[in-house]
Amino acid sequence: MNRTPRIAAIHDLSGFGRCSLTIVMPVLSAMGLQCCPLPTAYLSTHTGGFTGNTFLDMTEELGKAMAHWERLGLTFEAIYTGFMGNERQMALAADFIRAVRSPGTIVVVDPVMGDHGKLYRTYTPAMCQAMKGLAETADVIVPNATEAALLLDVPYESLSPTRDGFRRTVEALSRQGRRSVVLTGVSLSEGQTGAACFDRITGNTSFVQVPFVSRAFHGTGDLFASVLTGALVQGTSLPDAAEQAAEFVRRCAAHTAPQDLPPREGIDVEPLRGLLAPMKGDTP
């Protein structure tokens, strides 16, 4: 029997507030995959809607853990990166990817930098430049519109929120077709949301749309990218993986909305994780 596929997940860990590794680990596990975490930082809570949170920089341990894994000769079906605390962590992640990737490894970079046209409060211009370098190692990047503008070095306001505009954005981000792109937060009509996808394998651009749940929740981006990554490891095509991710986020949002929880607590994913489980007899 083949071993369970492994995914090295380089993200932060927040003790409260569903995001990053508290989303990534249970989602990938539910999909029948082994998630191997490499924490970039430990926070008592995430920074969206909370104040006074603790922040433990894990850069030194991150480097040591990566070096240990390299010495052990560990291999991974995917490497999936998210929030980074500083430029050195991005350089470490890029070096780790180059050291351990094999021809079958899928590298997914979620270039976490900002949203709604603004940088996250912990990010600096130097970190954004370093994130561009990390994104160069990716087979798939999963930016939102803010991050797309930062990666392209264009004003956020210059991105056209139309079908043709989204198409131009993902094709520009593909670096002449060298990497796949899944641009999140794409709406083609009122009451719909989803993603625009450029698939480097086919060279095609496609769109995924699902009904929009009109409440904001923290962690939806992490949830989308985690399901997308898991589906890609399972052999799903990029457009179908994006559709699976968008639909699962929609279902979790629809489940969470009636609870009237504070948005900062995140999306209530735990009761629905069973929907991600591979069918009996399936091989991831």
Q: Domain range for residue 127?
A: 6-256
Confidence of residue 284 (pLDDT cuts 50, 70, 90): very low
**Would you state the pLDDT for residue 1?**
43
Residue 51 has pLDDT above 90, yes or no: no
Residue 273 lies in a domain: no
Residue 279 has pLDDT above 60, yes or no: no
Residue 274 lies in a domain: no
Residue 56 lies in a domain: yes
Residue 150 lies in a domain: yes
Give per-residue pLDDT as tens, 186-206.
999 999 999 999 999 999 999
Residue 281 has pLDDT above 50, yes or no: no
**Would you state the pLDDT for residue 2?**
86
Give per-residue pLDDT as tens, 203-246.
999 999 999 998 888 889 999 999 999 999 999 999 999 999 99
Cβ neighbours for 273, distance < 8 A, ≥ 6 positions apart: 26, 27, 30
Give per-residue pLDDT as tens, 54-71.
999 999 999 999 999 999
Residue 82 lies in a domain: yes
Query: Alpha-carbon distance 201 to 48, whole Å?
Result: 36
Residue 165 lies in a domain: yes
Residue 167 lies in a domain: yes
Residue 64 maps to which CATH number? 3.40.1190.20
Cβ neighbours for 134, distance < 8 A, ≥ 6 positions apart: 81, 84, 90, 91, 93, 94, 109, 111
Helices 163-173 + 145-152 axis angle, to 10: 50
- Mean pLDDT score across all residues of the chain: 94
Predicted TM-score (pTM) of the model is 0.95
Q: Are 238 and 182 in contact (CB under 8 A)?
A: yes
Q: SS3 sequence, the chain? A: CCCCCEEEEEEEEEEECCCCHHHHHHHHHHCCCEEEEEEEEEEEECCCCCCCCCEEECHHHHHHHHHHHHHHCCCCCEEEECCCCCHHHHHHHHHHHHHHCCCCCEEEECCCCEECCEECCCCCHHHHHHHHHHHCCCCEECCCHHHHHHHHCCCHHHCCCCHHHHHHHHHHHCCCCCCEEEEEEECCCCCEEEEEEEECCCCEEEEEEEECCCCCCCCHHHHHHHHHHHHHHCCCCHHHHHHHHHHHHHHHHHHHHHHCCCHHHCCCCHHHHHHHCCCCCCCC
Residue 272 lies in a domain: no
Q: How many folded domains does the chain comprise?
A: 1
